[in-house]
Structure 1
Amino acid sequence: MPAVEISGKLSISPQPSLDGIQSLRDRGFKTLINNRPENEDSDQPGTQRERQAAQHCDLSYVFIPVILDSITEADVRAFQRAIDNSEGPVLAHCKSGTRSLSLYLIGEVLDGRMSADEVVDFGRSRSFDTSGAARWLENQAARRPQVKGFFDKRTCSIQYVVFDPETRKCAIIDPVLDFDEKAGAIATINADAIFAYICNEGLTVEWILDTHPHADHLSAAQYLKDKTGARTAIGERVVDVQKLWKGIYNWPELAIDGSQWDRLFANGETFKIGCIDTKVLFSPGHTPASITYVIGDAAFVHDTLFMPDGGTARADFPGGDARDLWRSIEKILALPDETRIFTGHDYQPDGREPRWESTVADQKTFNPHLAGLTEEDFVALRTKRDKTLPMPKLILHALQVNIRGGRLPEPEPNGKRYLRFPVDALQVAAWA
């Protein structure tokens, strides 16, 4: 199996055979990175067999599947992390090695160690056509806005900082407040990482945006508002969710007018982040209050679509509806094919590294919950699947905070805060 040395730690190759994988340890490699999507070609041994072969010879194995035209910065950063975390030399492969090399070269340019003008010549000198990486960099430079994703392992949530590179003004979308339900402990690890990034990049926060009241994590919107002074916002139908959960929590003093946010957006309303036009698109189905923010060429869809290999979000929460979700997704997919789609969760199918960026075209073509399905097909699929899913473990903890814009309960006379936990509230217990 030919391997081309790219750096002191990285070599690339075409698809190795299983026997070839078993020889890698003897050649000094410590990690194998697979950059091929599953079922791409009949010559693939498959991710599971590759992983088993790698583990059999004591190699670390990392799965980062990419398509050249759909590489994202998150893929590049995952590739870099895999190399950095390896205890020794790394072999990365795709079908020919070109995608693996492209991930490396894009990272070198993004980090300033190489100029974009060097990318094609670097590949050519090693018998690879890296013009696709050069095109990616050219397109990326012209794209607005710039997007930085922050992945939270505990909840598989992605939080975003979205900024206008000209004005350096930004929005934070769906920040996570760390919560350990076993200890009842609160921390600000995620939010502080976001704040540090904003400070390091010299950004000014204009907005802290919620896509909906989340059921799987507590919102850090209020904490970051206190840190930055930025305005908070959500869709105006949050009042419907407040009314619903006011009854579930038997919470007569809860204000249900959305006043916990600085602004409630109407469907179709527009505003700006720096100089970038932003539009609000109502996207009910997962919850009645769910919205999508279309910021320049980027749509932040949170719990509607996942990455194409992850399907779509559930629609069985109180107030959710599978038919509404289908119609919301249709509106998102009516955006231009090149629109970047940023999702709010990634559950890492097949154990791959976290990803959160796709395109409208990718979703139409590769998402099995959408491609070739009718509305009735989708409703049947979604309903059947939702019946097998347990409620999120934090749903009763989180909603009482999140329907108040991320505000924790006020301290009681003893100085402690207490969450309210209704018994038998949802009647969907999973005893198996």
Structure 2
Amino acid sequence: MNAVKINERLTVAGQPAIADFPSLAAQGFKTIINARPDGEEAGQPGNAQEKSAADAGGMGYGFIPVTGPTITEADIRAFQQKMAEADGPVFAHCKGGARALTLYVLGEALDARLEQGDIEAFGKAHGFDLSGAARWLQRQAAAMPQVKAFFDPRTWSVQYVVADPSTGRCAIIDPVFDFDEKSGATGTMNADAILAYVECRGLSVEWILDTHPHADHLSAAHYLKRKTGARTAIGAKITGVQKLWQEKYNWPDLKTDGSQWDRLFEAGDRFDIGSLEARVLFSPGHTLASVTYVVGDAAFVHDTLFMPDSGTARADFPGGSARELWASIQDILALPDETRLFTGHDYQPGGRAPKWESTVGEQKRSNPHLAGMTEEGFISLRETRDRTLPMPKLILHALQVNIRGGRLPEPESNGKRYLKFPLDVLEGSRW
């Protein structure tokens, strides 16, 4: 194990043995950061063993698995957060140390504490080749559109601001309206954080977009429309979802024509975000109405594809179909391999830090639900898996709000709002 002290806060190294962890604790390290994916080579201890060894030594632990080509800003910010949380020196490792140092220097560069032109010299001074970090920054600067993600740990949801840097115009995708099902409390913390970012960057909101009617969180689309005046939109098949849930909620007064949104997108529709052209892919399977928004080199797929280590979305909601989901995924994978894919949820398998960005090529290579999979094999895998899953805890709370574009129920005579909660309408659901 080669260990290199970068500064008083950070040492980077190659793979330590589990037997080294007591010594690391004795040397005063307070946190271990493992930047290495499990299974890179035989004999590698892996995330679970490392976490146990760190816990036994009284050290904090972070799992941020990356490969050189797949580092994203989410990984960089997760590395920074783990360092900030540590109450003393941090020992960060991968196989040889370069990836751990790359995560560090990219954070320093993004926050303007290290000049891009100085990165390779900084690496050489410590015995590492950081040319990959310099190339990452070049790609980041050239990426169109600019994408800022907001992760909500309560619902594991990812919200996005998608901006055209040349005009300062942007779209907000899949915003979360805060809701606590235990107390009935509502809030706008997530949405207000997005608005604060938009204001800080001097952006103008043109669109508020939902990819589908969500079953695991309430949509903040209506709240944000009132705050910004931007147009709201969703896929045109929302009318089918409205009709389906109108019956389940016994809600004859519900309008089922999609008039709660400013625009209903059909498959193939195009629209503009500033000077950027966006287009709509119809992506049913998870729901009847799911769509993918393709903007420049980015596609927002929400509950169709997760990160490669998490597979694909369930297809057992009312109106869902594993066969249709497979077809939708094939449409997405037909995009160029370098297309950035932004998912709508991350459930942090293995306790790793949240991630939300992959590429078409990475999904083809690494997603076990897709790599080498046939249509029938996928359908069998998906349906078998779905039979084991309980319904999302907020599905009956959320749908009555989300099929109305994020509008809460109207206040009753006492000034309070009330959700309607039907019993026994999701027959056969696992408890």
- Taking structure 1 as the reference length, the TM-score comes to 0.99
Inter-partner Cα distance in structure 2 for 1:406 and 1:422: 19
Q: How far apart are residue 309 of structure 1 and its match? A: 0.2
Inter-partner Cα distance in structure 2 for 1:116 and 1:148: 21
Q: How far apart are residue 8 of structure 1 and its match? A: 2.9
Letter of the structure 2 residue corresponding to residue 364 of structure 1: K
| Aligned residues of 1:285 and 1:328 also touching (Cα < 8 A) | yes
Query: 2:143 aligns to what?
Result: 143
**How many positions carry a matched residue from both structures?**
431
Query: 2:38 aligns to what?
Result: 38
Is 1:87 paired with 2:87? Answer: yes
Is 1:383 paired with 2:365? Answer: no
Q: Specify every segment of 5 or more residues in structure 1 that has no aligned partner in the other structure, as ranges.
A: none
Inter-partner Cα distance in structure 1 for 2:410 and 2:184: 15
Letter of the structure 1 residue corresponding to residue 306 of structure 2: F
Inter-partner Cα distance in structure 2 for 1:283 and 1:6: 47
Letter of the structure 2 residue corresponding to residue 116 of structure 1: Q
Q: Secondary structure at the match of 2:257?
A: coil
Runs of 4+ in 1 over 6 A off after TM superposition: none
Inter-partner Cα distance in structure 2 for 1:305 and 1:264: 23
Query: 1:259 aligns to what?
Result: 259
| Aligned residues of 1:280 and 1:294 also touching (Cα < 8 A) | yes
Query: 2:400 aligns to what?
Result: 400
Letter of the structure 2 residue corresponding to residue 69 of structure 1: P
Q: How far apart are residue 189 of structure 1 and its match? A: 1.1
Query: 1:130 aligns to what?
Result: 130
Query: 2:349 aligns to what?
Result: 349
Deviation per residue, 1:42-91 (Å, 9 max, x gap): 14111111111111100101000001111101111111101011111111
Query: 1:424 aligns to what?
Result: 424
Q: After superposition, where does 1:27-426 map in structure 2 within 5 Å?
A: 27-426=27-426
Deviation per residue, 1:230-252 (Å, 9 max, x gap): 11000111111001101111100
Deviation per residue, 1:319-339 (Å, 9 max, x gap): 000000000000000000000
Identical-residue share of aligned pairs (%) = 65
Deviation per residue, 1:372-423 (Å, 9 max, x gap): 1100000000000000000001000000000000000000111010111111
Letter of the structure 2 residue corresponding to residue 336 of structure 1: P
Letter of the structure 1 residue corresponding to residue 341 of structure 2: I
Q: How far apart are residue 11 of structure 1 and its match? A: 1.2
Q: Specify every segment of 5 or more residues in structure 2 that has no aligned partner in the other structure, as ranges.
A: none
Inter-partner Cα distance in structure 1 for 2:424 and 2:178: 25
Q: Secondary structure at the match of 1:148?
A: strand
Letter of the structure 1 residue corresponding to residue 29 of structure 2: F
Q: Secondary structure at the match of 2:87?
A: coil
Inter-partner Cα distance in structure 2 for 1:78 and 1:328: 31
| Aligned residues of 2:2 and 2:96 also touching (Cα < 8 A) | no
Q: Secondary structure at the match of 1:150?
A: strand
Letter of the structure 2 residue corresponding to residue 253 of structure 1: D
Deviation per residue, 1:192-243 (Å, 9 max, x gap): 1111111111111111000000000000111111111111000111111001
Q: Secondary structure at the match of 1:112?
A: coil
- Taking structure 2 as the reference length, the TM-score comes to 0.99
Inter-partner Cα distance in structure 2 for 1:371 and 1:2: 35
Inter-partner Cα distance in structure 2 for 1:169 and 1:210: 18
Q: Secondary structure at the match of 2:15?
A: coil
Inter-partner Cα distance in structure 2 for 1:308 and 1:7: 34
| Aligned residues of 1:391 and 1:428 also touching (Cα < 8 A) | no
Deviation per residue, 1:119-166 (Å, 9 max, x gap): 111101111011111111111111111111111111110011111112
Inter-partner Cα distance in structure 1 for 2:27 and 2:3: 11
Inter-partner Cα distance in structure 2 for 1:21 and 1:132: 29
Deviation per residue, 1:329-379 (Å, 9 max, x gap): 000000000000100000000110000000001100000001111000000
Letter of the structure 2 residue corresponding to residue 240 of structure 1: G
Inter-partner Cα distance in structure 1 for 2:82 and 2:165: 28
Q: How far apart are residue 28 of structure 1 and its match? A: 1.1
Q: How far apart are residue 7 of structure 1 and its match? A: 2.8
| Further displaced range: 180-189 or 2-11 | 2-11
Q: Secondary structure at the match of 2:215?
A: coil
Deviation per residue, 1:293-340 (Å, 9 max, x gap): 001100000000000000000000000000000000000000000000
| Aligned residues of 1:198 and 1:204 also touching (Cα < 8 A) | yes
Q: Secondary structure at the match of 2:208?
A: strand
Query: 2:22 aligns to what?
Result: 22
| Aligned residues of 1:315 and 1:386 also touching (Cα < 8 A) | yes
Inter-partner Cα distance in structure 2 for 1:403 and 1:149: 24
Letter of the structure 2 residue corresponding to residue 399 of structure 1: L
Inter-partner Cα distance in structure 1 for 2:429 and 2:160: 33
Inter-partner Cα distance in structure 2 for 1:366 and 1:212: 26
Q: How far apart are residue 429 of structure 1 and its match? A: 3.8
